[in-house]
Amino acid sequence: MNKSDAYHLKYHITPPYGLLNDPNGLAFFKHQYHVFYQWNPKGTEHRNKCWGHVVSSDLVHWQRKSVALEPSEWYDKDGIYSGGAIVHQEKLYLFYTGNVIRDDGVKESYQCAAISEDGEHFQKMGPLFEHPKGYTRHVRDPKVWRDRNGSWWLIVGAQREDLTGDTLIYKSTDLSVWECQGSFLEHDREFGYMWECPDLLHFAENDIFVFSPQGLPEAGEYYRNPNQSGYMVGKFMNTGKFIGNLAHFKELDRGFDFYAPQSFKVNDRTIMFGWMSGMNEEAERAVPTIQEGWIHALTLPREIVLSNGVLYQKPLPELQLLRLEGVHSQKDIHKNGVWLLPSLQVECIVHLSKLTENFKMIIRNAVEINYDSAENSITVWRTNWLTNQREYRKATLANQLADMQIFIESSSLEIFLNEGEEVFTLRYFLEDTEQRTVVLEAGDNEGKIEIYQLQECDVIINP
Ligand code: FRU
């Protein structure tokens, strides 16, 4: 079945067919960027997980490779779950969780590795260590890095036997013998029932621990999605402990659809991809692309910057390669304006030079971005495709709103505010491909709007 123009995402990584979820194994190896992703090639349900694989030389145009890992052994027979990658001695190492459902229905998980010399064909090495004591079978998503002294560290998301979330850390000097060092972040506070996809980001001034806790209760503007992905700034110690405070946990993305992000570092830049979904099962089943035999996408790559304790997420400058022949339209903002999008692949930048009152931006008569000047807050509204009800997500900004950079596709939006101080990522589904208006009710505010038409590159070029 073909992907329809109504919903197909043409500059994001999507599966050729089937279901895509988390980004996995991000690496730069032999002059190419490698992105793997959770992939069910056999259907649009969460089953038969393999690692799909795409490569790129510019992080923008991607080429598909054949499936990298699929269930084949006793320790991964029911799914190759998420994990990370490292490059060592000219080999690409993938770390993943083998999912096993025993004949009696009991689930097991094994943390495994696979190695490749060409970045395309992988040899499985089997489980790395025994299942830790004191934890349920929900232990998964290994991420590995090397410290300055040459030691290897592996963190893995976990659930304690008292059904609270945790992250475990292991140490190795040879990538083969791994010793458990206990909890990565010592805490006695209950913070969700399971932590998925842990990641550690290193910066000169500090370190950042990213993870995806499940089961946090909604709290005002916060934790409005079924599960959250967030971070805390702190310090990784050579004892294997992360010193940080759960009370400072902050969501990475304030939109509706962002989960299970993963990062990698190339030439001093920390680049992150996320899974563009945060849907509950019912909403997921109602996504219209299921009729076309595919579902979900990864977010655009974002550079993560830590500056004076604040994390920024900036769309990569490489994304400018997508712009077709300069700016399509550039105008001063005046009271009420209507723009027509040249296509459904567009980047729209709004600079605000004078901001004294509320404004509203309505994209394709479907998504509304509201600025409240008294609160300095942004509220984003969309129609829920399952319930048909309007719903919103909201964030209060730390700094006065100065700019918005919005990546528009036929069924997704990524809204970067103040150079990535806050981001809203969301899906929306509109059948009418002719609906291409952007309405700006700007009031007395002043500024400029720039619209760029982006390549309809159908990002993924099949081999
Ligand atoms: C996160 C997650 C991971 C797991 C994978 C399975 O979305 O649940 O914890 O490894 O998806 O597809």
Using most ligand atoms within 8 A of CB, pick from 40, 97, 110, 141 the residue to mutate for ligand 1: 141
- Residue 457 confidence (pLDDT) above 80: no
Ligand 1 atom at minimum distance from 97 CA: 10
Ligand 1 atom at minimum distance from 141 CA: 10
**How many CB atoms are located within 10 Å of the residue 146 CB?**
13
- Residues 90-148: pLDDT tens digits? 999 999 999 999 999 999 999 999 999 999 999 999 999 999 999 999 999 999 999 99
Structure tokens at 306: 């830590």
Ligand 1 atom at minimum distance from 81 CA: 10
- How far does the centroid of ligand 1 lie from the alpha carbon of residue 80, in Å? 10
Using most ligand atoms within 8 A of CB, pick from 196, 211, 257 the residue to mutate for ligand 1: 196
- How far does the centroid of ligand 1 lie from the alpha carbon of residue 26, in Å? 15
Encode 172-214 in three state secondary structure. Answer: ECCCCCCEEEEECCCCCCCCCCEEEEEEEEECCCCEEEEEEEE
Pocket of ligand 1 (CB under 6 A): 21-22, 38, 49, 81-82, 97, 140-141, 196-197, 259-260
- Give the mean pLDDT of the chain: 95
Mean pLDDT over 166-183 rounds to 97
Using most ligand atoms within 8 A of CB, pick from 95, 111, 140, 281 the residue to mutate for ligand 1: 140
| Phi, psi of 321, deg, nearest 5 | -60, -20
Handedness of CA 295, 367, 381, 246 (dihedral sign): positive
pLDDT of residue 1: 58
Of the pLDDT bands very low, low, confident and very high (cuts 50, 70, 90), residue 327 is confident
Handedness of CA 78, 15, 316, 313 (dihedral sign): negative
- How far does the centroid of ligand 1 lie from the alpha carbon of residue 237, in Å? 27
- Residue 380 confidence (pLDDT) above 60: yes
Domain ranges for the chain: 18-315, 318-461
pLDDT of residue 463: 44
- Tell me if domain 18-315 and domain 318-461 are identical in fold: no
- Residues 399-435: pLDDT tens digits? 999 999 999 999 999 999 999 999 999 999 999 999 9
pLDDT of residue 182: 97
CA atoms of 364 and 371, how far apart (whole Å): 18
Residue identifier of the C-alpha nearest atom 12 of ligand 1: 81
pLDDT of residue 372: 97
pLDDT of residue 300: 98
Of 219, 192, 196, 210, nearest to 249 by C-alpha is 210
Residue identifier of the C-alpha nearest atom 9 of ligand 1: 196
Percentage of residues in the chain with pLDDT exceeding 90?
A: 93
3-state secondary structure of 73: coil
Of the pLDDT bands very low, low, confident and very high (cuts 50, 70, 90), residue 276 is very high
- Residue 265 confidence (pLDDT) above 80: yes
Please tell me the class of the 318-461 domain: mainly beta
pLDDT of residue 306: 97
Please check whether residue 356 is in contact with residue 182, taking contact to mean a CB–CB distance below 8 angstroms: no
pLDDT of residue 350: 96
CA atoms of 103 and 80, how far apart (whole Å): 18
Exposure letters 364-377 (e unless 16+ CB within 10 A, then b) = bebbbbbbeeeeeb
3-state secondary structure of 291: helix
Exposure letters 396-414 (e unless 16+ CB within 10 A, then b) = ebeeebbebbbbbbbbbbb
CA atoms of 313 and 420, how far apart (whole Å): 4
Mean pLDDT over 346-368 rounds to 96
DSSP code per residue over 378-439:
EEEEEE-TTT--EEEEEEE-SS---EEEEEE-SSEEEEEETTTTEEEEEE---S-TT--EEE
Structure tokens at 184: 């990565």
Catalytic site residues?
A: 22
**If one looks up domain 18-315 in CATH, what number appears?**
2.115.10.20
Of the pLDDT bands very low, low, confident and very high (cuts 50, 70, 90), residue 458 is low
